[in-house]
Chains A and B, each alone.
Chain A
């Protein structure tokens, strides 16, 4: 075979670098994808290069085998297809899950609704000196009759100690299990000062107390007669607490409205800034008298942020503007038992 790659003596004139050049064309050459001119050059090279010829022979054999390459068998196609369909569907074990989730949500919402404060009886737990801890529950705002022994929450020192702790639980409907038979409630007459922190929980607690004392002072408030009650903005000497004071005032109005549905509550903004932030608030305080006159209400509720022993304290006062008396003294709330209050009211009326 005569070729350009052969010299006069019949030896191949191609070099190793030529082999590298041609190597990329072997597969297109086998598959007849090369132009005729390129294909002739490759053929000429192969004619005199045994290594490349063998390489092409191997590739030719490989390419002739490619279409015959075996494929994986899959005799159970239908079975696998049905398995895929089943896998795509939600598992029967969890089909109840959405319904269960909805039911759980409804149940939780129901529990929360039932046990919110407006639907929950207020439970008072009174500690006695006998060591027995009876549990007494009653619903606000209805007060016990005057001839019954009344248990008011005992407001203890800033740090509640030992058995002399009185608490009002607004959010715990369940009655605590006691080991012993509940002893009759004991009235507490200690004049320990209140530890009412200026926060929403304490405002709620205070609102219960205020409502009780107001109803005790003014029983006709439950008879449909309108009772006007003005709530003054809480005052504070610390400007950083102003926002908190305003917020708690709004909450107090809201809480009192819930507890005194018959009363007409107004949130009063005094024309002149009250100067009740400091000093003692007593019935004969001239500032208090001025505010009572301005309020044009049956009752006046005022509060202030105070500090006692360096700890923040919320003091709330309930003033009967007609009689100019402190129905509820925020400094010493437990000093006034309802019995005493009733007696005092009777005495005033008498």
Chain B
């Protein structure tokens, strides 16, 4: 088949992913489920976790992403990487959910630990280290999450990709379809907004023992 040949020759997919995509495109439901299981922890959930403010909405978005992926996968021709294809799909679904819920007050619910199985507080109890420090770290993460969610969506996605996911400009441009100049300008604005949001919550961080850097006591001369 022409599509399959193109996808193979383009080398845009890992071997097992490529096979899964082709089988899913031919209607193999098990292949689709396996593909989703591969993509969810790697691409889908990290993005949803940064772009959707609460777990209930995130679950709805996740379900919608699977549905849209199932519908649109037959149209995947391998012109871009599967990661880009999935990222844009997830971003679109998140944006739609964002615009749908933008007038609702933002709710924050307890997130879960990175291992994905236990609630975050539960994981804290088992974690090694000072419980006080663990609790502070949890509060810090919560505050960071709020600061990220307070950024407008079109800037938030760039910030998440750059500063959370560690992508460079070129990768972000490829994922989002923007040119690098747009990526840079949006990232600058996103960081400025993020910094402002963080500093508005400075009291959460100022007393935290998580912070290691202590500001030097130096006399500041007034500009007067």
Contact = CB atoms under 8 A, between A and B. Distances in A.
Interface of A: 7, 10-17, 23-24, 26-28, 31, 47-51, 53-63, 65-75, 77-78, 80-85, 87-88
Given A72-B49, A74-B41, 16 more contacts: A27-B191, A27-B195, A51-B215, A55-B202, A61-B140, A61-B211, A65-B141, A68-B114, A69-B141, A70-B120, A74-B116, A81-B66, A83-B63, A85-B29, A85-B33, A88-B67
B70 A31 contact: no
27 contacts: A15-B223, A17-B223, A28-B191, A48-B216, A50-B215, A54-B206, A54-B215, A57-B213, A57-B214, A58-B211, A61-B210, A62-B147, A62-B198, A70-B111, A71-B41, A72-B52, A72-B112, A73-B116, A73-B117, A74-B116, A77-B40, A80-B63, A81-B32, A83-B63, A84-B63, A88-B67, A88-B71
A14 B29 CA distance: 65
A83 B40 CA distance: 15
A156 B219 CA distance: 116
Contacts, number: 163
A70 B215 contact: no
B198 A69 contact: no
Contacts of B192: 24
Contact of A68 (B29, B141, B215, B219): B141
Nearest to B224: A15
Contacts of B194: 27
Contacts of A24: 188, 191-192
A81 B33 CA distance: 6
B223 A16 contact: yes
Interface in B191-224: 191-192, 194-195, 198-199, 202, 205-206, 208, 210-221, 223
B223 A61 contact: no
A307 B45 CA distance: 83
Given A15-B223, A66-B163, A58 B120 contact: no
Contacts of A61: 140, 205, 208, 210-213
B112 A67 contact: no
B113 interface: yes
Contact of B50 (A12, A60, A69, A85): A69
Contacts of A88: 67, 70-71
Interface in B116-136: 116-117, 120
A69 B50 CA distance: 9
A125 B67 CA distance: 63
Interface hub of A12, A55, A62, A65 (most chain B Cβ within 10 A): A62
A11 B217 CA distance: 11
A47 B215 CA distance: 9
A12 B215 CA distance: 14
A26 B192 CA distance: 10
B49 A81 contact: no
B137 interface: yes
A165 to B, nearest CB: 63
A299 B183 CA distance: 90
A85 B31 CA distance: 12
A346 B147 CA distance: 109
Contacts of B117: 73, 75
B221 to A, nearest CB: 5
Contacts of B37: 77-78, 81
Contacts of B58: 72
Given A49-B220, A58-B202, A61-B213, A70 B195 contact: no
Nearest to B66: A84
Contact of B218 (A49, A59, A82): A49
Contact of B55 (A11, A13, A65, A72): A72
Contact of B216 (A23, A53, A73, A84): A53
A12 to B, nearest CB: 6
A31 B62 CA distance: 31
A12 B214 CA distance: 18
Contacts of B177: none
B46 interface: yes
A173 to B, nearest CB: 49
A82 B70 CA distance: 10
A73 B112 contact: yes
A47 B112 contact: no
Contacts of A14: 220
A51 to B, nearest CB: 7
- Chain A CB count within 10 A is highest, among B120, B210, B218, for B218
B48 interface: yes
A63 B117 CA distance: 25
Contacts of A47: 216, 218
Given A71-B46, A71-B114, A84-B66, A58 B206 contact: yes
B81 interface: no
The 9 A-B pairs of least Cβ separation, nearest first, read A57-B213, A84-B66, A53-B215, A15-B223, A71-B49, A73-B116, A54-B215, A73-B112, A84-B67
Contacts of B137: 65
Nearest to A15: B223
A62 B5 CA distance: 46
B205 A23 contact: no
